[in-house]
A and B are shown apart, each in its own frame.
Chain A
């Protein structure tokens, strides 16, 4: 059972960058009629999203977020000993994007840098890895970067996914300090549900061919995509969330020796408004304790938890706050953490 505790490690600052280009979901009607679009958008509660242009990558967004954060916090770049980059939309198949960012951000070549490739659970997984390495005492400061350009992953002609996803990049500085006290993590995986959210082709199991790049009708509703587009079985994912997430939260709270009442905030992966509202209701969490950014940025996969913190909690993270983070999605993979925030610095949102 992957239950972990770390001591005296914490997030001291966070920032986020999103593309300037705003997609108005109600006007996203090129492939579907207005009434259909309205039904979907009302239900998923995503009014707008941000899309990058064709050339901008996840690492560009993370670079902008990191520059802002390092400047705002006046951090000596030579003190960053660890750089972890989270994404499932990296710049290249190789080398790892984290290594490119080490150079681009002007960090020392003695910086440890590597990528983590998970989806919506990845920010919590990434924190676990960074906290664990920081706990050794061998690193002064860590920079955790998390970026996604999910706009490039899904077909605009598949209504099951066309209105959900957006782009963004975040940066977090993680340091050792006794003020943070204990933090707790629960990590999980279930590969038997690999087909719930997936891109079938374009990797090494099913390499890219002209056939995998050919758009096809995939169901009785006329939805269209290629085998290199992502797809999602929404009802299966919803069932998965109802089965696994409340129980994982309860398990971690027990391990942490705390209760729902003692937590100041609950930040969930922003999947869609319908699912998030239902999850909060099921767990009996008041809306003002569960900040949401889904309306403005859509589902940005692993970026959604930190993007919600940066855009919705700037004024809330002064002083001491005990916060639960819950990430869940593609894999299936899910992770929960209970962290102390102590006067966390939050930069203003950067638009690229």
Chain B
């Protein structure tokens, strides 16, 4: 479950040159911008049927934070 999310997250941000860890602060990635945010929103909706409102998303800092949010909110 965690590895699947990490793989999807990497693929969505088109990160190919390094590994991604749950402890990473994704907001510090060079790849992170408002367009990347749209892609992540779409991926989470498609794969997990979860929609994260922006004011909630703003509180999330690490890749693990997103994963935890999905786990807590998916049926």
Residues of A in contact with B (beta carbons under 8 Å apart): 39-40, 43, 160, 221, 233-236, 238-239, 242-243, 274-275, 278, 281-282
Select from chain B the residue with minimum beta-carbon distance to A278: B42
Known: A238-B41, A239-B41. A233 touches B54 (CB 8 A): yes
User: Which of B34, B37, B46, B57 has most A Cβ within 10 Å?
Assistant: B34
User: Which of A221, A234, A243, A282 has most B Cβ within 10 Å?
Assistant: A234
A-B contact pairs, 13 of them (CB 8 A): A43-B35, A233-B54, A234-B37, A235-B54, A236-B53, A238-B42, A239-B51, A239-B52, A239-B54, A242-B41, A242-B51, A274-B38, A281-B46
In the bound complex, residues from chain A placing their C-beta under 8 Å from that of B54 are 233, 235-236, 239
Known: A40-B35, A43-B35, A242-B51. A235 touches B41 (CB 8 A): yes
In the bound complex, residues from chain A placing their C-beta under 8 Å from that of B35 are 39-40, 43
CA gap between A275 and B41 in the complex, in Å? 11
CA gap between A40 and B35 in the complex, in Å? 8
B45 is an interface residue with CB less than 8 A from chain A: yes
In the bound complex, residues from chain A placing their C-beta under 8 Å from that of B46 are 281-282
Residues of B in contact with A (beta carbons under 8 Å apart): 33-35, 37-38, 41-42, 45-46, 51-54, 57
Select from chain B the residue with minimum beta-carbon distance to A272: B38
Query: Are A239's CB and B53's CB within 8 A?
Result: yes
Query: Are A160's CB and B34's CB within 8 A?
Result: yes
How many whole Å from B8's CB to the nearest CB in chain A?
Answer: 15
Known: A242-B45, A282-B45, A282-B46. A234 touches B38 (CB 8 A): yes
How many Cβ-Cβ contacts under 8 Å join chain A to chain B? 37
CA gap between A282 and B41 in the complex, in Å? 13
CA gap between A39 and B46 in the complex, in Å? 23
In the bound complex, residues from chain A placing their C-beta under 8 Å from that of B41 are 235, 238-239, 242
Select from chain B the residue with minimum beta-carbon distance to A219: B34
How many whole Å from B44's CB to the nearest CB in chain A?
Answer: 10
CA gap between A242 and B48 in the complex, in Å? 13
CA gap between A234 and B35 in the complex, in Å? 9
CA gap between A281 and B38 in the complex, in Å? 15
Query: Are A238's CB and B34's CB within 8 A?
Result: no
In the bound complex, residues from chain B placing their C-beta under 8 Å from that of A282 are 45-46
How many whole Å from B20's CB to the nearest CB in chain A?
Answer: 21
User: Which of B45, B51, B54 has most A Cβ within 10 Å?
Assistant: B54
Select from chain A the residue with minimum beta-carbon distance to B41: A238
Which 3 pairs, one residue from A and one from B, show the smallest C-beta to C-beta distance? A236-B54, A235-B37, A43-B35
How many whole Å from A225's CB to the nearest CB in chain B?
Answer: 15
Query: Are B51's CB and A243's CB within 8 A?
Result: yes
Query: Are A234's CB and B45's CB within 8 A?
Result: no
How many whole Å from B52's CB to the nearest CB in chain A?
Answer: 7
Contact of A234 among B34, B51, B53, B57 (CB under 8 A): B34
Query: Are B42's CB and A235's CB within 8 A?
Result: no
Q: A39-B35, A160-B34, A236-B54 are in contact. List 7 more A-B contacts (CB 8 A).
A: A234-B34, A235-B41, A239-B41, A243-B51, A274-B38, A281-B46, A282-B46
In the bound complex, residues from chain A placing their C-beta under 8 Å from that of B51 are 239, 242-243
Select from chain A the residue with minimum beta-carbon distance to B33: A221
CA gap between A221 and B35 in the complex, in Å? 13
In the bound complex, residues from chain B placing their C-beta under 8 Å from that of A235 are 34, 37-38, 41, 54, 57
How many whole Å from A254's CB to the nearest CB in chain B?
Answer: 21
